[in-house]
A and B are shown apart, each in its own frame.
Chain A
Amino acid sequence: GENVEQHPSTLSVQEGDSAVIKCTYSDSASNYFPWYKQELGKGPQLIIDIRSNVGEKKDQRIAVTLNKTAKHFSLHITETQPEDSAVYFCAATGRTGANSKLTFGKGITLSVRP
């Protein structure tokens, strides 16, 4: 089955700096890669996603890149703000029969220092 690894496990940046979070996946058949932000006591919130037919996607301060050959994808947050502090999860899924379950990484805690 799919295995998603996420690193580093914690990241601390100064407000205004950029943050980059990287994930690797094992199943070359995976073709959909969402990123979720989870604040304390809340459910995961979808912030951006990318499908395997594109290499990069951007939405305001957030961007995601995908390298299918190397089987890794990254989340880029520019001009970080204290409200960006949260746990970020990457995930992957592929078309395996009728299954669209997500396999998640273990998450990274991002701290933005004011």
Chain B
Amino acid sequence: NAGVMQNPRHLVRRRGQEARLRCSPMKGHSHVYWYRQLPEEGLKFMVYLQKENIIDESGMPKERFSAEFPKEGPSILRIQQVVRGDSAAYFCASSRQAYNEQFFGPGTRLTVL
């Protein structure tokens, strides 16, 4: 029974490039959440999606960041024109329904040079 899967686990980008982070939820889970963790800090909510719908994107920066969860395939967090301040660990969590337990993936550690 596979847990939440994220890839890549580590991603290095130069300033101005695009970063694509992928998340496959647990089997049977249709709710996906993205969180960002800066060094020495807790996790900050970014966006909450269900299949083909963005439910809440109140934690997403207004520019350069976007997320999707298509009918088929993983959820994608896209960061365009990355800057050094985007360097962080990005975690995806999934739940079976809203208000259910959220289970986290291993994260993608993004480093922007």
The chain A residues found within 8 Å of chain B, CB to CB, are 6, 32, 34, 36, 42-46, 49, 89, 93, 95, 98-107
Contact = CB atoms under 8 A, between A and B. Distances in A.
B101 A102 contact: no
B77 to A, nearest CB: 15
Given A44-B91, A100-B48, A95 B99 contact: yes
14 contacts: A6-B42, A34-B102, A44-B43, A44-B104, A46-B104, A49-B101, A95-B99, A99-B48, A101-B33, A102-B45, A102-B102, A106-B42, A107-B41, A107-B42
B48 A42 contact: no
Contacts of B33: 101-102
B95 A104 contact: no
Interface in B44-91: 44-45, 48, 55-56, 58-59, 91
Interface residues of B, number: 28
Contacts, number: 62
Contacts of B25: none
A6 B31 CA distance: 27
Contacts of B105: 43
B90 to A, nearest CB: 10
A93 B103 CA distance: 15
Given A99-B55, A100-B95, A102-B33, A34 B44 contact: no
B106 A43 contact: yes
A43 B48 contact: no
A101 B45 contact: yes
Nearest to B50: A98
B56 A101 contact: yes
A104 B42 contact: yes
